[in-house]
């Protein structure tokens, strides 16, 4: 089964952040606080609303926003996240539509279709991005750390994700997006490889003075991204053979 690959993995990496947020806490400015105050007028009564608000603020994330909408804000490294968005050259990410939403008990599983724009590339890349949200204290929150899910809920969450992915792979619209992704990445392969080198270099420079376990953790993340790139290359080679 094909997966939803390089771009999605990069996005999940950016959204989750890594390391200890408290060590890299960024102070919000007065203007940022005013912006988030306006966002608070929008409630968190539905998972769809929370995801829409995330897309509206994705390129200007700050601490107050993370605390308001993420279930494990202490696990979100906002400085690293914003820096990686900049290093990747992402100029905009538009939510095209919420493709699918399933609700199980106090969890919601969303699949979103969006368009990501990169500096120097005219056309966007279409992508499918998964979100897990949890309902707690009468509000919906984005789950950014799977370890925060209760052990008794882990089976339900895991099963729901798998079922939704299987359904997606049978959908013609999703198949078309996957095909367009392959073409986009093949066309701009050099661009993404260069951006990944910059990110890896910056990460290692930032982590060199941290404890070994933090460095190892980041190396594991980098390895996962590299594996996804290898899988994408295999998909491309398989596509060529089919032709």
Task: Evaluate if residue 179 carries a pLDDT over 70.
Answer: yes
Dihedral sign for Cα atoms in the order 200, 206, 209, 210: negative
Dihedral sign for Cα atoms in the order 142, 47, 84, 79: negative
pLDDT, residue 232, reads: 59
Task: Give percent of the chain above pLDDT 70.
Answer: 67
Task: Evaluate if residue 21 carries a pLDDT over 50.
Answer: no
Environment class of 203 (CB within 10 Å of its CB; exposed 0-12, middle 13-18, buried 19+): buried
pLDDT, residue 225, reads: 62
Asked if residues 63 and 81 have their Cβ atoms less than 8 Å apart, the reply is: no
Average pLDDT over residues 22-36: 42
The position carrying tokens 């919906």 is: 140
Q: Give residue-wise pLDDT tens across range 106-143.
A: 999 999 999 999 999 999 999 988 899 999 988 999 99
**Which stretch, 2-6, 105-109, 215-219, has highest mean pLDDT?**
105-109
For residue 113, give Cα distances in angstroms to 74, 116, 150, 176.
28, 10, 28, 12
- Phi (first) and psi of residue 105, to 5 degrees: 55, -120
Q: Give residue-wise pLDDT tens across range 152-177.
A: 888 888 888 888 888 888 889 989 99
Task: Evaluate if residue 93 carries a pLDDT over 50.
Answer: yes
Task: Report residue 16's pLDDT band, with 50, 70 and 90 as the boundaries.
Answer: very low
The alpha carbon torsion through 180, 182, 187, 190 (nearest 10 deg) reads: 140
pTM over cut 0.75: no
For 111, other C-beta atoms within 10 Å of its C-beta total 21
pLDDT, residue 79, reads: 81
For 89, other C-beta atoms within 10 Å of its C-beta total 16
Q: Which structural domains are found in the chain, ordered by start?
A: 6-242 (3.10.450.100)
Structure tokens at 221: 């993340």
Mean of pLDDT over the chain:
75
DSSP label of 188: T
The H-or-E segment that residue 114 falls in is strand 107-118
């Amino acid at each position: 089964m094909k997966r939803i690959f390089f771009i999605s993995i990069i996005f999940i990496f950016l959204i989750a952040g890594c390391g200890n947020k408290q060590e890299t806490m960024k102070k919000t400015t007065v203007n940022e606080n005013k912006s988030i105050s306006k966002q608070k007028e929008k409630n968190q009564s539905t998972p769809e609303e929370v995801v829409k608000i995330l897309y509206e603020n994705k390129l200007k994330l700050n601490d107050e926003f993370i605390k308001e909408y993420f279930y494990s804000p202490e696990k979100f490294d906002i400085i690293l996240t914003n820096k990686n968005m900049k290093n990747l050259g992402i100029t905009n990410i538009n939510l095209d539509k919420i493709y699918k939403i399933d609700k199980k008990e106090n969890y919601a599983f969303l699949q979103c279709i969006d368009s990501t724009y990169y500096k120097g590339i005219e056309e966007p890349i279409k992508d499918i991005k998964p979100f897990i949200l949890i309902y707690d204290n009468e509000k919906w929150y984005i789950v950014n750390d799977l370890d925060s899910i209760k052990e008794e809920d882990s089976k339900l969450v895991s099963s729901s994700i798998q079922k939704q992915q299987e359904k997606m792979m049978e959908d013609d619209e999703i198949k078309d997006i996957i095909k367009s992704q392959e073409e986009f990445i093949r066309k701009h392969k050099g661009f993404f490889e260069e951006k990944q080198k910059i990110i890896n270099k910056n990460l290692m420079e930032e982590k060199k003075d941290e404890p070994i376990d933090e460095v190892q953790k980041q190396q594991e993340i980098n390895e996962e991204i590299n594996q996804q790139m290898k899988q994408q290359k295999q998909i491309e080679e398989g596509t060529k053979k089919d032709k």
